[in-house]
Amino acid sequence: MVLNPDKGTTSISLVNEALYGAIQRGIDVSPVLLKARIDRELLTAPQARVTAASFSRLWIELADLLDDEFFAIDSHPLRRGGFKLMCQATLGCETLEQALRRILAFLRVVLNDIYGELVYEDDNAVIIMHDHGVERRLFCYGTWLILVHGLLCWLGNRRIPIKALTLRPAKPADSSDYRIRFCENIEFTAPVSSVRIKRSYLALKVVQTPAALAAFMKDSPGSLLVQYRNEASLSSRIRQRLRTLSPEDWPELDSLAQLLGMSSSTFQRRMQAEGLSYQRLKDNLRRDMAIDLLSRADLTVSEVAAQTGFQETSAFHRAFKKWTGVSPGAYRRSSLEPADG
């Protein structure tokens, strides 16, 4: 049995960060959660995660609610339609460097609290995220970078690999969302927030056309969180390999290392460098598979348990509660609610 492509999940901490601006304004976010199929119980469960589709929908619904595609993070909103206008402004560029400069100029005009500067260091292009000397929320830098990097990737019709990322805020309890989306090489509590890429990528041509914009905008900018993730990491390669197999057919560590063309010791060292163990990665993948399957109204909890490799539903309940801090019921309730409220 080959399962659905791996889209991963998003931590509930990012959901709460996205909701923060609306909640601070006293706005009822219940309709947004309903349309995104996110049960309120999840918001108070630190280990909980939501599907990529749910977070993308949350982004779009919040942008509509706030009339701000930057989630009320900045003292000046990025009005609804601003991202589309930024896309249109870059489509006439010849190279990605020209497009990047136009993106940075656009965001500097519409936002007050954070702006970007492009500098070159030997064969590296460095985007410095200036914040007027005031450390912002981690979510601010991450969201700004998703807009910039995501649009740049789309314009070039390929992922632009990030070599290194430095961020002023402290490392969060769960940094996996940032590593999965951007790169493994992240320095937190850094003096300056910046992103480093190979200079040669900026010489690439802009290949997208105005005709392609409508399809791109259908789920953007929310889809950018997963559309151009860091797929080169070892953990991503392992997930991709395991996703093609049923859980009962997942290989042992030594066999998997051989399939990936490395020794068991090298495999374990690289896993440790990414802060994971093979068992934890398998548990995380089972968790994400279960969350994805539970979001479908046509499957019972027992069927989800079976498809994620559990012979007994009770064992699945215990494992799921351990992984997420909540029972499968919190996800089943969301899948059974009408998405349009």
Domain positions in the chain are 78-218, 234-336
Task: Name 288's Cβ contacts closer than 8 Å, sequence gap at least 6.
Answer: 6, 8, 9, 49
**For residues 314 and 307, what is the distance between their CA atoms, to the nearest angstrom?**
14
Domain 234-336 CATH superfamily: Homeodomain-like (1.10.10.60)
The single-letter code of the amino acid at 20 is Y
Q: Which H or E element spans position 70?
A: none
Distance CA 93, CA 74 (A): 27
Alpha-carbon dihedral 235, 239, 241, 247, rounded to 10 degrees: 130
Tens-digit pLDDT profile for the chain (341 aa)? 334 445 678 899 999 999 999 999 999 999 999 999 999 999 999 999 998 889 989 999 999 999 999 999 999 999 999 999 999 999 989 999 999 999 999 999 999 999 999 999 999 999 999 999 999 999 999 999 999 999 999 999 999 999 999 999 999 988 888 988 898 899 999 999 999 999 999 999 999 999 999 888 887 776 676 666 766 677 778 888 898 888 999 999 999 999 888 898 888 888 887 777 888 889 989 999 999 999 877 889 999 999 999 999 999 999 999 999 999 988 887 766 655 54
Record the tokens describing residue 100, joined without a space. Answer: 């990047």
Q: Of the candidates 28, 31, 82, 88, which has an alpha carbon nearest to the alpha carbon of residue 57?
A: 31
Angle at CA 48, nearest 5°, toward 45 and 50? Answer: 135
The string of DSSP letters for 163-181 reads -EEE-SSPPPS--HHHHHH
State the pLDDT at residue 94. Answer: 97
- How do beta strands 186-187 and 164-166 pair? parallel
Widest CA span in the chain: 58
- Confidence at residue 4, expressed as pLDDT on a 0 to 100 scale: 47
Place of tokens 């500097």: 108
The pLDDT value recorded for residue 318 is 95
